[in-house]
Every structure is written in C-alpha cells, then in structure tokens.
Chain A
Amino acid sequence: QLQESGPGLVKPSETLSLACTVSGVSISSGDYYWGWIRQPPGKGLEWIGSINYSGTTFYNPSLKSRVAISVDMSKNQISLKQSSVTSADTAVYYCGRQFRGSAIYYMDVWGKGTTVSVSS
C-alpha cells in the first residue's frame, strides 16, 4: 500500500530525500491527506508534515524551515526533502495515508518505515 524508499545514510549538512510510493489508491482521488512521521532510535513519534493531492501542505513548526513535502501524481508518490541534517535527524521515517475524521485527517495506513542515519 505504501512503501518508503531512499538512501539509508546521509552526511551531516546534506539534504535527506525520501519517496513514498502509494499503491491501491490514486493520490489524485483527493480523498486523503498523506503524511510523514519519524521516530528516532528508542524515542517517540514526531509528526513532520502532511500534503493533499492539490499540494496543500502543513508542517511541524519546529521543522518547517528545513522540510518540503511534495506530490507527484504521475508516479503516485509523495516526497520528503529535509535540508541541513544533523545526527538528531537519525530516525525511522514513516509515510502514511490520512483519512478524514469529523474534521481533521488521521493516519490509518502506514508504510513499514525506512531507517535514515546521519553520519559522516
């Protein structure tokens, strides 16, 4: 359903780039938002940001200056770019589908996650 991909190792100060390929549903259907969440080793979950089919984005204020999420409907993919990475960005990165509840969108389908390490 959702599969994250990207380099497992990124050097400090460089840009982390991940893709999430969606299968079984078309992003262009407009029924969902699509989000990224990360989890540092041994720590809790952190919401990174979300996007819908039209490109409307919302970002975690603490990451907003370094993060960009985009959608490529021709590939049925969403992408995450995070610049100026440090060791604090080492984490498992998950992408997920967000369905609409009463008023906001909740993540109900998740990818398996991809581990990204930041090290020289």
Chain B
Amino acid sequence: QSALTQPASVSGSPGQSITIACTGTSSDVGGYNYVSWFQQHPNKAPKLMIYDVTKRPSGVSNRFSGSKSGNTASLTISGLQAEDEADYYCCSYAGSGTLVFGGGTKLTVL
C-alpha cells in the first residue's frame, strides 16, 4: 500500500480556478469510487471537503468539486479565495477496509 501521488504545491490568483490531481493505482483510486479530499490549515485538524469522489458535506462551498478518471482523482477549487490557502490531501479506499492518503498539496493563493 503506497501513498497516493499529489503535486507538492499549486498556486493561483484570487478568482481563478485550480485543480489538484491525485494519482493512485487500480488497487485504490482506479478500483473504487471512494475518494475523499481534506483541507488542513496550519496547526488545525483536517476538514472533509469531498467524499464519494464528487459529494460535498453539508456546509462546504460549492466552489469545491471532485472528479475521477481512471487512476487519477482531482479536486477543483473555483473562484479562489484567500481562505482557501491550505494543505489539501486526497484519500482513497484501498480494499479490505483500508484507506490510503496522498502526500498532500500546498495551495498558495497569490
């Protein structure tokens, strides 16, 4: 069970859209439609932003959306705002009741 692959960093200007990719294998991301995304601000607990690839928990802005194609899941944030600056982690089901995280992506809002 290896960690999912995410870019170390992405950046965008306020109002723009950015996409963070999360690449796994057919044993995790590609094998199941059970991908989630978490947002983590410094020294804070993570916050669930997306689950079941595309679903948003109650209270999460519709500026956040998720998708998946093959072994790669993606998180798109539209209309970037300063408060979106944070670390983002993908997480996938990997079979037999196990979960695997990505290495994390630092989003900078320029």
Contact = CB atoms under 8 A, between A and B. Distances in A.
A47 B1 CA distance: 11
B34 A103 contact: yes
Interface string A78-120: 0000000000000000100000011110111011110000000
B45 A110 contact: yes
Which 9 pairs between the two chains have the least Cβ-Cβ distance?
A58-B97, A110-B45, A44-B104, A47-B99, A106-B51, A101-B52, A45-B101, A104-B34, A108-B48
Contacts of B102: 44
Given A106-B51, A108-B57, A110-B46, A47 B97 contact: no
Interface in B55-110: 55, 57, 89, 91, 93, 96-104
A13 interface: no
Interface residues of A, number: 23
Contact of B45 (A59, A94, A101, A102): A94
A44 B46 contact: no
A112 B55 CA distance: 25
